Amino acid sequence: MSMFCFQCQETMQNKGCTVTGICGKKPDTAIMQDLLIYVTKCLSEVTTKIRANGKSVDKNVNHIITENLFTTITNANFNTDNLRSRVIKTLDVKKQLIDDNTDLKLSEHGLWDERDPSAMDSKASLVGVLSTTDEDKRSLKELITYGIKGLSAYTHHANVLLEDNEDLDIFLQEALSKTIDESMSVEDLISLTLKTGEAGVGAMALLDNANTKYYGNPEITKVNIGVGNRPGILVSGHDLKDLEMLLEQSEGSGIDIYTHSEMLPANAYPKFKKYAHLHGNYGNAWWKQKEEFESFNGPILMTTNCIVPPKDSYKDRIFTTGMVSYPGLKHIEGAIGEPKDFTEIIELAKTCQPPAEIETGEIINGFAHNQVFELADSVVDAVKSGAIRKFIVMSGCDGRHKTRNYYTDFAENLPKDIVILTSGCAKYRYNKLKLGDINGIPRVLDAGQCNDSYSWAIVALKLKEIFNAADINDLPIEFNIAWYEQKAVTVLLALLFLGIKNIHLGPTLPAFLSPNVVDVLVEKFGISGIQDVEKDLITLG
Ligand code: SF4
Ligand code: SF3
């Protein structure tokens, strides 16, 4: 059994994982993910052709497609059996649609259907990334597919809040079906890449609307990073609905709820601030979880990526839900619109020791677009007076490589008249440094999760309007984005769609970008990798 995966920044030697994943993904899991992506593309061909015939497609089918894509994101699903049953469910849905629409003219992909496990395994080994032999087409198809994975994740979070945007589903299914259409040229795929960025903006907007509609607009909040003396439950990942249900069910039960990694921004939403037992944030970015989950002492709930293969010391108190799955771990069920029952986690927490303290103090959070707009006057004054010379957007992901110390050093050494705008778990590289403020405006403004990069896009558009700039690139805003998994690819494509030029992307350029595709990105958008801190600070001016 062999595998090939190069979808994340930590891929082996920045080329591809071929023996096993650096993330811990095993070959059988990797190829089952390949098959799941393939059958999801096949289903997308069917749905796209049904719509072309003027018929509609049920919302549940849209959800199956986004969920399948989401579950293949790095560090979400390590469970081959779970992936296999998703493949079968997808084939079942496709078969039903074909039976109901006998006039469809389908390709061999649209028609493919095998349930025998060995036939599935053989097919799985034929439909991976390397099945596209042309290097540039492969690169663009993967860039589009990864962009759609992130888009699907963001869409799914909105869907669980019962918000849908069918246009996004239509786009992403059409785009997926085009990635298995051999007639697509390199030029067609380049144009589809940019459209994926446009849809990425749409998905982030959909989720922003859903989050703020249900939980209010994030507001400036000091988040406690110390611990209390009651047992706790640690909630990681991005899904706010899961956190809401857990907060509701655990209220008054004598335990505290703590956020971890990408759940930190939840502390800034008015709806969540009402829960007195939401104690604060414990720990740092996803890759430190092995130590932090151990010292937390209580149960952990993983609502999305990034889960890393758990240590035995806490295996019996880590739970998955939603699109996360790991062999042997307990999974809390609950489909879109259904309540989830967290009783088992809450009861377990009551028997656990309180978390061990690993830090004390507070971090400031809650600078999403609405809060920033409320501060617009002081921000604009500070820019006009020269007190703020520049903003630098440092959104994205964190990761475990030492090279990421770059981001800490870069933040620490930035001239004092530059403000960092951040979102995503990349922030943990500098959000606890004492970087001070400019006229009361903190030098690190944290908008929230990676999807809240949307806030920086609309803040940039607002500044363009305020300063009457002809071009968004004329503003004193630079972009130095850190990527790891595929949601950051969506964010990157969204920024490109918005016309942002000269983005620095690090710590390495994606392995899935072929030299020719890199050339296109350099020529059209001026994208470049990072160098060392000193050189990049000189370039920054
Ligand atoms: Fe390797 Fe990343 Fe793929 Fe995991 S997700 S197998 S680390 S490229
Ligand atoms: Fe982090 Fe996994 Fe990407 Fe939402 S939690 S940003 S890496």
CA 94 to centroid of ligand 2, rounded, Å:
32
In which residue ranges of the chain is CATH 1.20.1270.20 found? 12-214
In which residue ranges of the chain is CATH 3.40.50.2030 found? 221-350, 366-539
Looking at residue 139, its amino acid is S
C-alpha to C-alpha distance for 165 and 187, rounded to whole angstroms: 28
Tell me the pLDDT tens digit for each residue of 186-225. Answer: 999 999 999 999 999 999 999 999 999 999 999 999 999 9
Q: Which atom of ligand 2 is nearest to the CA of 238?
A: 4
C-alpha to C-alpha distance for 361 and 363, rounded to whole angstroms: 7
What is the torsion angle, in degrees rounded to the nearest 10, for the CA atoms of residue 478, residue 482, residue 486 and residue 488? -30
- Which of 341, 291, 337 has the alpha carbon at shortest distance from 321? 341
CA 485 to centroid of ligand 1, rounded, Å:
9
397 Cβ closer than 6 Å to some ligand 2 atom = yes
CA 319 to centroid of ligand 1, rounded, Å:
22
- Which of 403, 369, 368, 541 has the alpha carbon at shortest distance from 482? 403
What ligand has the least distance to the C-alpha of 150? 2
What ligand has the least distance to the C-alpha of 21? 1
Domain 12-214, classified CATH 1.20.1270.20, yes or no:
yes
Testing ligand 2's pocket by substitution, the residue of 152, 451, 485 carrying the most ligand atoms inside 8 A of its CB is: 485
Looking at residue 8, its amino acid is C
C-alpha to C-alpha distance for 430 and 291, rounded to whole angstroms: 20
Q: In Å, what is the CA distance from 452 to each residue of 19, 77, 155, 212, 448?
A: 35, 23, 13, 11, 5
CA 215 to centroid of ligand 1, rounded, Å:
34
- Which of 279, 354, 326, 320 has the alpha carbon at shortest distance from 77? 326
424 Cβ closer than 6 Å to some ligand 2 atom = yes
- Are the CB atoms for 252 and 318 separated by under 8 Å? no
Residue 315: CB atoms within 10 Å: 14
Give the DSSP letter of residue 325.
B
CATH topology of domain 221-350: Rossmann fold (3.40.50)
State if pTM tops 0.85: yes
CATH topology of domain 366-539: Rossmann fold (3.40.50)
The set of residues, in sequence order, having a beta carbon less than 8 Å from that of 289 and lying 6+ positions away, is 236, 260, 261, 283, 306, 307, 308
What is the residue with the minimal CA distance to atom 5 of ligand 1? Answer: 74
Testing ligand 1's pocket by substitution, the residue of 9, 23, 80 carrying the most ligand atoms inside 8 A of its CB is: 23
What is the residue with the minimal CA distance to atom 3 of ligand 2? Answer: 397
Q: Which atom of ligand 2 is nearest to the CA of 424?
A: 6
CA 306 to centroid of ligand 2, rounded, Å:
6
Tell me the pLDDT tens digit for each residue of 400-438. Answer: 999 999 999 999 999 999 999 999 999 999 999 999 999
Tell me the pLDDT tens digit for each residue of 433-472. Answer: 999 999 999 999 999 999 999 999 999 999 999 999 999 9
Query: Which residues does ligand 1 sit against, CB inside 6 Å?
Result: 5-8, 10-11, 17, 21-23, 25, 30, 74
425 Cβ closer than 6 Å to some ligand 2 atom = yes
The pLDDT profile of the chain, 541 residues, written as one tens digit per residue, is 589 999 999 999 999 999 999 999 999 999 999 999 999 999 999 999 999 999 999 999 999 999 999 999 999 999 999 999 999 999 999 999 999 999 999 999 999 999 999 999 999 999 999 999 999 999 999 999 999 999 999 999 999 999 999 999 999 999 999 999 999 999 999 999 999 999 999 999 999 999 999 999 999 999 999 999 999 999 999 999 999 999 999 999 999 999 999 999 999 999 999 999 999 999 999 999 999 999 999 999 999 999 999 999 999 999 999 999 999 999 999 999 999 999 999 999 999 999 999 999 999 999 999 999 999 999 999 999 999 999 999 999 999 999 999 999 999 999 999 999 999 999 999 999 999 999 999 999 999 999 999 999 999 999 999 999 999 999 999 999 999 999 999 999 999 999 999 999 999 999 999 999 999 999 999 999 999 999 999 999 8
Q: Which atom of ligand 2 is nearest to the CA of 485?
A: 3
C-alpha to C-alpha distance for 44 and 51, rounded to whole angstroms: 10
Q: Enter the tokens of residue 316.
A: 């019996």
Q: Which atom of ligand 1 is nearest to the CA of 12?
A: 1
Residue 344: CB atoms within 10 Å: 12
Judged on CB neighbours under 10 Å (0-12, 13-18, 19+), 236 is buried
